[in-house]
């Protein structure tokens, strides 16, 4: 068994939990896993050092039941722990292949500590083989060792935690649209165009040039100026201006907002010219209800792992990853021109950022990094 030294915190170890049926009810509870938790043979104890918090994490909560996001880090009945992407350090290890002090990137709960059962360990990382995680998508059970991850840059941990999981989706949608010749459309419309995932996609689409596709961003009136300033949308309009767009051209809709009214307005406006419509996100998580049969292409759920699987069969997984790495390398420097990183610490700050994100008060130019410890 190996252990790493750390500063002892004055308070007990905590979990941040939210009511599954009412995301406005949340609390910190004393955690069952703490710095001195006994480990079974093969287990490791990770202290979660810092994690990103974006609208994506609220979406995990909003779709927690249907998409099984609550199942990763179970807690008491009726409550859930929201998964987040970030970095953690091994504090104790009863696994011969992993030493205390190693740092990993991956999917964590909003907690001080987490216990894991590493399997398939190599220098690049491990898979958490805890029984309750086995039915869940393997993508989320993978932890990468920062010491050997070619995508890791110590000075860019914040950007990695914030954008890396989102940009993979942006990358796969861009590839999926190209793979399908943009469904015969020359225009791609994105909702929640101010979001980081939409930005990643618009960044990639813009590189294809206007002759391959025009990129139109839809956003809230308050975010129009910011979204225009990102410089990768050919046009940005507010949600209430959809009808000002010419309906004569075939379009594709990539929906990051999950807003039923916006989707319905678009489909009725473009009618048969809506050539493809896919749901990617749900930033407007409380505006999902209320659409009937829609004209145009039937809305589909975009599932990035399906496109990854297809490309892995064609290019090999190494081919997918090297293309993704090349795109990420180009993308990363672009963040510096608009994103400001805000690093907050301690339970009160975690709670404040959560509520602001839930209630739509966060600013799109901010990238929130949180640490549970003060
Ligand atoms: N399916 C997948 O695999 C996958 C992968 C990655 C991301 N996504 C989804 O993509 C979406 C964007 O995620 P992100 O992390 O990139 O978002 P983000 O950068 O945090 O997005 C911020 C923007 O989302 C909108 N927004 C956020 N909270 C809101 C609220 N409470 N009410 C109304 N609007 C709100 C606003 O945009 P506007 O004013 O422009 O509407 C805001 O500027 C999420 O729903 C996420 O789950 C899905």
Which residues of the chain are modeled with pLDDT < 50? none
- The response to whether residue 282 sits with its C-beta less than 6 Å from ligand 1 reads yes
Planar angle of CA 347, 352, 116, nearest 5 degrees: 45
- How many angstroms separate the alpha carbon of residue 76 from the centre of ligand 1? 28
**Ligand 1 atom closest to the CA of 217, numbered from 1:** 40
Pairing of strands 79-80, 83-93: unpaired
**Ligand 1 atom closest to the CA of 220, numbered from 1:** 39
Helix/strand/coil percent split, the chain, to 5:
35, 30, 35
CA 219 to chain centre: 19
> Cα separation of 178 and 234, whole Å?
18
- The response to whether residue 170 sits with its C-beta less than 6 Å from ligand 1 reads no
Q: What is the pTM for the complete model shown?
A: 0.96
Q: Which domains, from first to last, does the chain contain? A: 2-149+339-371 (3.90.180.10), 164-306 (3.40.50.720)
Instruction: Tell me how crowded residue 360 is: count the other CB atoms within 10 A of its CB.
Output: 14
Let me know if 18 is exposed, middle or buried by CB neighbors in 10 A (0-12, 13-18, 19+).
buried
pLDDT (0 to 100) of residue 265: 97
Q: What residue's CA is closest to ligand 1, atom 40?
A: 192
From first CA to last CA, the distance across the chain in angstroms is 28
- How many angstroms separate the alpha carbon of residue 195 from the centre of ligand 1? 5
Choosing from 24, 54, 55 the residue with most ligand 1 atoms within 8 A of its CB, the one to mutate for a pocket test is 55
- The response to whether residue 103 sits with its C-beta less than 6 Å from ligand 1 reads no
> Cα separation of 181 and 201, whole Å?
16
- How many angstroms separate the alpha carbon of residue 41 from the centre of ligand 1? 40
Q: What residue's CA is closest to ligand 1, atom 21?
A: 195
CA 99 to chain centre: 29
Element of type H or E holding 85: strand 83-93
- How many angstroms separate the alpha carbon of residue 371 from the centre of ligand 1? 21
- The response to whether residue 217 sits with its C-beta less than 6 Å from ligand 1 reads no
Structure-token pair, residue 122? 């190599």
- The response to whether residue 269 sits with its C-beta less than 6 Å from ligand 1 reads no
- The response to whether residue 55 sits with its C-beta less than 6 Å from ligand 1 reads yes
Q: How far is CA 232 from CA 200, 218, 325, in A?
A: 9, 13, 20
Q: How far is CA 270 from CA 26, 187, 291, in A?
A: 41, 12, 16
């Amino acid at each position: 068994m190996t252990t790493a030294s750390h500063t002892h915190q004055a308070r007990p170890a905590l979990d941040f939990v939210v009511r599954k049926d009412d995301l406005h009810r949340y609390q910190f509870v004393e955690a069952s896993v703490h710095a001195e938790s006994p480990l079974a043979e093969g287990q490791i104890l990770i202290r979660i050092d810092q994690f990103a918090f974006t609208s994506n994490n609220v979406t995990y909560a909003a779709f927690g039941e249907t998409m099984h996001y609550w199942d990763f880090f179970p807690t008491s009945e009726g409550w859930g722990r929201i998964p987040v992407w970030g970095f953690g350090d091994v504090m104790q290890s009863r696994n011969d292949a992993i030493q205390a002090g190693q740092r990993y990137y991956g999917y964590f709960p909003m907690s001080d500590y987490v216990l894991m059962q590493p399997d398939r360990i190599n220098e690049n990382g491990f898979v958490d083989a805890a029984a309750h995680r086995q039915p869940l998508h393997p993508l989320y059970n993978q932890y990468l060792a920062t010491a050997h991850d070619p995508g890791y840059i110590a000075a860019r941990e914040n950007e990695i935690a914030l954008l890396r999981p989102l940009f993979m989706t942006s990358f796969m949608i861009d590839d999926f649209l190209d793979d399908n010749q943009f469904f015969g459309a020359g225009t791609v419309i994105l909702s929640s165009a101010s979001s980081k995932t939409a930005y990643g996609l618009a960044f990639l689409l813009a590189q294809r040039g206007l002759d391959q596709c025009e990129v139109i961003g839809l956003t809230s009136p308050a975010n129009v100026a910011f979204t225009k300033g990102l410089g990768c949308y050919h046009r940005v309009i507010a949600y209430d201006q959809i009808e000002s767009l010419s309906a004569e051209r075939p379009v594709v809709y990539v929906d990051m907002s999950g807003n039923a009214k916006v989707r319905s307005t678009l489909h009725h406006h473009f009618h048969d010219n809506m050539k493809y419509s896919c749901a990617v996100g749900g930033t407007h998580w409380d505006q999902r209800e209320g659409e009937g049969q829609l004209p145009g292409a039937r809305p589909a759920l975009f599932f990035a792992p399906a496109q990854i699987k297809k490309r892995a069969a064609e290019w090999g997984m190494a081919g997918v990853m090297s293309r993704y790495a090349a795109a990420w390398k180009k993308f990363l420097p672009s963040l510096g021109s608009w994103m400001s990183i805000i690093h907050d610490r301690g339970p009160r700050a975690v709670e404040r950022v959560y509520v602001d994100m839930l209630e739509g008060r966060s600013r799109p130019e901010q990238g929130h990094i949180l640490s549970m410890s003060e």
